[in-house]
Structure 1
Amino acid sequence: MIYITGPTSFWLTALFFFLAVFGRYVLFSLGFWWLFSVSMKDQFAHRAVQTRPRKPGQDWREIGWSIVTSLIFTAIALGVILAYQEGHTLIYTNIKAYPLIWYPISISLVLFAHETYYYWLHRWMHKPSVYRWVHKTHHDSITTSPWTAFSFHPTESTLQAIVIPALLFVLPLHISAVGIILTIMTISSAINHLNTEIYPRDFDRHWLGRWLIGATHHGLHHSQFRFNYGLYFTFWDKWMKTESPDFHRLFKQKTTKIDAGR
């Protein structure tokens, strides 16, 4: 665990975390973009969720907002480190401090709590009185790409960023579990905004796949606005009847064309 011991240490830690947060975003966004839009473009050409072209300069606009988001994430991470040093969080570094079974349970609990928080936050952000001030920046990207993953208004970035740090004050988490959760968050966001369905045919009805959000599921949210509010999982959309009625039809359409030729 990093310790902040003075002004120089503070700014070096801030730089380290910014490079880690923004670098993680660039790494996964660039990786998914290159893999499915360049390297295997022909194999996945028919899997594009939205076919309308992206707006001129959209990539750079999204990257610009993502830099702001990364700065906000960095500031909150620094706050968590300072709180940890004062003994206010429940982060632990000794894997033997809790039974080993707690490790996967703690990750699952955080993902469930994060999903629940985000689903209801997301619905709130779509209220007309809130939308234009908080969430419109993200929805300016109707045709998404992995670069859209961190493209948020600063208010939305802050609202999204506070939940996991808040959980660190009430839920014991090993430091490596925090890293796993943040990596899952980044990968999931890149996949969901890819605008190319990478999951196999019928995965939307698979015992596992039916609960996971992918590019088709989230792409419909960007085009229809009033459906598919989930972050990682579909269960709140299913429970609250907010899953798009077009989802399964579109998923089948996007995956059958490519798979039929195999």
Structure 2
Amino acid sequence: MDTLIWVLERLWRGFTFDFTRYFLAAGGVYLIVWVLFNKQFAPLKIRKKTPRTRQMVIEFLTSMRTVLIYGFVGFLTFWGIESGVMRYYLDMEEYGTAYYIFSILFMIVAHDAYFYWTHRAMHMRGVMKYIHGEHHKSMNPTPWTAYRFDIFEAASHALFVPLFLLFVPLHHGVIGIFLIHMIIRNAMGHSGYELFPRSWATHPILGWLNLVTHHDMHHANGNYNFGLYFTWWDRICGTEHPDYIARVTKTPGATRANPQGTAEPVHLPAE
């Protein structure tokens, strides 16, 4: 009986935590950008068309399945930690502050690599339809698209944390910061509004960050822009959309090599 209570308690904690995380991030971005300050954010809108309410309802309902999957994986993570399988610690002094900060940054960079390569695999012929097709039904994304996944895709994303914990010792605060960062960036990346300064795209350092337009273009054309937080994998592997700089900076003909663009008209992705 005690074991059953332990299982049910941790399942419930996993489900409620992940629902709250998704709802506050997606709902927060939606409320701020789409509702409260819609007029102020209007110039930052990436596409002319606005998704219908029906799409957002479907996105939310589909996301509840993802919440259940994340919650179950969260339960498995609890079990792994309490059984000593996962490399988890509570005392900050055990590894020190420097390691604490390093582990946050390392986890984000590692997750970006994990996401890029699993994401590209999901776009392989014969795979996309069954694993990643649900997400791309939102061709014009909204903040609620953040969790619109097929079952296997949701499991792939959720498994990153327990897999990482098998090899890298993490403080519980690091896991919390990572999960909050992940869902906020996810919701922002699907917001449909360029929430970052457009000039960052061509900055020598900030240009390595994925701006909202980067992922929005992926939803418009799934052959490019597979990265999550950073542009480096797309740039190294040649999968960044050739019109990304022109689109994000609104400078026809602009490229990374020539941020000023040209006087010649250049085709930009469809709105």
Task: Say yes or no: TM over 0.5.
Answer: yes
- 1:202/1:116 CA distance change after superposition, 3 Å: same
Q: Is the 8 A contact 2:201 2:211 kept in 1?
A: no
Partner deviation per Cα, 1:154-190 (whole Å, 9 max, x = no partner): 1100111112211101101001100111111001101
Pairing of 1:91-106 with structure 2 (within 5 A):
91-106=88-103
Q: Which amino acid aligns with 2:93?
A: K
**Cα distance between partner residues in 1 of 2:65 and 2:16:** 13
Residue 266 of structure 2 corresponds to none
Match of 2:110 in 1: 113
**One-letter identity of the residue aligned with 2:233:** W
8 Å contact kept, 1:134–1:153: yes
Q: Please give the residue correspondences for 1:93-172 in structure 2 after superposition, counting only pairs within 5 Å.
A: 93-172=90-169
1:203 alignment partner AA: W
Superposition deviation, residue 22 in structure 1: 0.9
Partner residue in 2 for 1:258: none
Q: Which residue of 1 aligns with 2:195?
A: 198
Residue 186 in structure 1 maps to residue 187 in structure 2: no
Among 224, 233, 237, the alignment partner of 1:236 is 233
Answering whether residue 63 of structure 2 is matched by residue 66 of structure 1, we say yes
Q: Quick one: distance in 2 between partners of 1:201 and 1:234?
A: 14
Judge conservation of contact 2:10–2:78 (CA < 8 Å) in 1. no
The aligned residue for residue 259 of structure 1 is: none
8 Å CA contact 2:188–2:212 kept in 1: the answer is yes
AA aligned to 1:78 is: F
Give 1:10's match in structure 2, choosing from 3, 7, 10: 7
Q: How many residue pairs are counted as aligned between the two chains? A: 250
Tell me how far 1:56 sits from its aligned partner.
Answer: 5.4
**Alignment partner of 2:82 out of 81, 85, 94:** 85
Per-residue CA distance 1:74-119 (angstroms, 9 max, x = gap)? 1111111111111111110000111321111112222122111111
Q: Is the 8 A contact 1:191 1:214 kept in 2?
A: no
Does residue 221 of structure 2 align to residue 227 of structure 1? no
Larger relative contact order (C-alpha < 8 A, sep ≥ 6)?
A: 1
Deviation at 1:206, TM superposition (A): 2.7
208 and 188 in structure 1: CA distance in 2 versus 1, 3 angstrom threshold: farther
Among 39, 45, 49, which residue is 2:46 paired with? 49
Whichever residue aligns with residue 79 of structure 1, its letter is L
* 1:88 alignment partner, SS class: coil
CA RMSD in angstroms comes to 1.5
Structure 1 segments of 4+ aligned residues over 6 angstroms from their partners: none
One-letter amino acid of the counterpart of residue 187, structure 2: A
Q: Which residue of 2 aligns with 1:250?
A: 247
Of 159, 175, 179 in structure 1, the residue corresponding to residue 172 of structure 2 is 175
Give the percent of matched residue pairs that are identical in Structure 1 and Structure 2.
Answer: 31
User: 1:213 and 1:65 mapped to 2: Cα distance?
Assistant: 25
Measured in 2, the distance between the counterparts of 1:30 and 1:148 equals: 11
Among 203, 211, 215, which residue is 2:212 paired with?
Answer: 215
| 2:149 partner SS | coil
State how far apart, in whole Å, the 2-side matches of 1:97 and 1:207 are: 37
C-alpha distance in 2 between matches for 1:60 and 1:47? 24
Q: Which runs of 5+ in 2 are unaligned?
A: 252-271
